[in-house]
């Protein structure tokens, strides 16, 4: 779960922040609660999940849209 949390948080920075951010947070919390053998990876997944939601909030407040715009 810690690795999946990390990967979903990492991918969530680029696409689908609203979906992958909370998934990363929940999986990281479950992994830490169950005593994973990779606590650093779970903490990183938790941080990336939170960063996903922060990026989404900044994106929404900057140009009032839910998606990235390149132009």
In this predicted structure, the answer to whether residue 37 has a pLDDT above a threshold of 70 is yes
The DSSP result for 44-71, as a single string, is HHHHHHHHHHHHHHHHHHHHS-SS----
In this predicted structure, the answer to whether residue 15 has a pLDDT above a threshold of 70 is yes
Mean pLDDT, to the nearest integer, of 32-45? 93
Mean pLDDT, to the nearest integer, of 8-23? 90
Which is nearest to 20 in space by CA: 56, 63, 62?
56
Residue 62: predicted pLDDT: 82
Share of the chain above pLDDT 90, in %: 63
Eight-class DSSP state of 35: T
Residue 66: predicted pLDDT: 65
Sorted by where each begins, the domain ranges of the chain are 2-63
> How much is the mean pLDDT over the chain?
88
């Amino acid at each position: 779960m810690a690795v999946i949390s990390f990967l979903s948080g990492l991918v969530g920075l680029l696409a689908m922040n609203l979906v992958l951010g909370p998934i990363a947070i929940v999986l990281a919390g479950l992994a830490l609660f169950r005593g994973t053998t990779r606590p650093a990876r779970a903490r990183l997944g938790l941080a990336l999940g939170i960063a996903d939601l922060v990026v989404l909030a900044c994106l929404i407040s900057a140009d009032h849209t839910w998606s990235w715009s390149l132009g």
